[in-house]
Amino acid sequence: MHNLFLKTLYDKRSFILGWVLGMAFIGYLMTIFFPAFHQDNGLDQLVKSLPPAFKGLVGNLDNLKEMSTYLGSQLFDVRMPIFLSVLTILLAVGLSVSEEDKGQLRTLIALPLSRTRILLTKWVVIVFICLFATLATIVGIEIGLLTIHETLDIMVLIRLGGMMLLLAVALATAIFGIGMATGKRGLTTAVGVLITVGSFLVTTFAPSVDWLKDYEKFSFLHYFPAPDIAKGTIDPVNVVVYGAITIIFLVIAVLFFRRRDVR
């Protein structure tokens, strides 16, 4: 409790516990659903009956035949980004503009702590909480695998978990950066929602809607092709994009937060 990092983590303990349990449960649940997806041939018929635009929501049915691609397509490619978006918006807004609105940021600034140090410590807390959420998901999957007596190469989970962490950190940093740079709750929340909802819609429907294809590269999720990652491919460009987004927003946040008025 003597330093800001531990104090902030302790302050967020209920949030962390809730999300760790939630993510582990989602990982567990999706894993134990695998036999149902794997054995149900009726699903093929159902998907064939869907309009083309909605097939993007389900993904490639071939991915359901293997545990690795099943998790890649059904957990990490569709659901996990949604949960991560909610996590990152709540976390980033909570640690930036919410603390400022409550006056807690002033209390910190009144201490012998530089603004840069306050900002970077909060960001490290964000990274740790994203890491906890990622690890919890992997633990949930492992427990699920034990429950249904399936095995999976741990490298698959490390690759998926690693890219999931990069996605979460990049998304959280973008929202946190806007919050710390401006101090405006409405703007920060709006941008966060716009990024996540926009990314989700573009990535989901781009395979079926021609004119959306040109905009797909602007989606956060475009750089997280979970089924491909599950098959063993991590495109270094995707890692660089998430890394660059993180660094750019962090630098912007530091530059503006050091000089602006804090309410």
Partner 1 sequence: MSSTPVVSIAHLTKRYKGFAAIDDVSFTIAKGEIVGFVGLNGAGKSTTINTMLGFLHATDGSVTIFDQLVKPQTAHKTHQQIGFASGDMSLFNNLTGKQYFRFIAGRFGIRDNTRLKQLSDLFEPDVNKKIGDLSRGNKQKIALIAAFMASPELVILDEPSSGLDPLMQQNFVDLIREETTRGTTIFMSSHYLTEVIDVCSRVVLIRGGKIVKDIPASELVTDGGKMVRLVSQSVVIPPRTAELVEKKKTDDGYELTFVYKAKPAQLQQWLSGVAGLIDVSITDHDLKAAFDDLYELETGEHA
Instruction: Provide, for the chain, the percentages of residues in helix, strand and coil under a 3-state DSSP scheme, each rounded to the nearest 5.
Output: 85, 0, 15
Q: Is the separation of the CB atoms in 149 and 69 below 8 Å?
A: no
Residues 182, 256 contacting (CB under 8 angstroms): yes
In this complex, which beta carbon is closest to partner 1, that of residue 6 or of residue 50? 6
Report the residue number, 2 or 149, with the smaller CB distance to partner 1. 2
- Closest approach, Cβ 127 to partner 1, in A, equals 21
Stretch that binds partner 1, among 79-87, 100-108, 194-202, 245-253 (CB under 8 A): 100-108
Candidates 18, 35, 103, 243; binder of partner 1 (CB under 8 A) is: 103
Contact 87, 171 (CB under 8 A): no
The binder of partner 1 chosen from 2, 49, 149, 186 (CB under 8 A): 2
Q: Does 110 bind partner 1 (CB under 8 A)?
A: yes
Q: Single out the segment in contact with partner 1 by CB under 8 A; choices: 112-120, 169-177, 181-189, 238-246.
A: 112-120
- 114 lines the binding site for partner 1 (CB under 8 A): yes
Task: Figure out which of the listed residues 42, 52, 112, 186 binds partner 1, where binding follows CB under 8 A.
Answer: 112
- For 85-121, b/e burial (b = at least 16 CB within 10 A) is bebbbbbbbbbbbbbbeeeebeebeeeeeebeebbbb
Quote the least distance from Cβ 182 to partner 1, whole Å. Answer: 15
Closer to partner 1 by CB, 125 or 164: give it.
125
C-beta closer to partner 1: residue 119 or 156: 119
Binding mask 239-258 for partner 1 (x = CB under 8 A): -------------------x
Compute CA distances 23 → 32, 36, 86, 167, whole Å. 14, 21, 12, 15
* Token pair for 155: 């490298």
- Cβ 112 to partner 1, closest distance in Å? 4
Strand, coil or helix: what is 183?
coil
Residue number, 7 or 55, with CB nearest to partner 1 = 7
Do residues 141 and 27 make contact, with C-beta atoms less than 8 angstroms apart? yes
Quote the DSSP letter at residue 50.
S
- How many CB atoms are located within 10 Å of the residue 217 CB? 11
Positions that interact with partner 1 (CB under 8 A):
1-4, 7, 10-11, 13-14, 102-104, 106-107, 109-115, 258-263
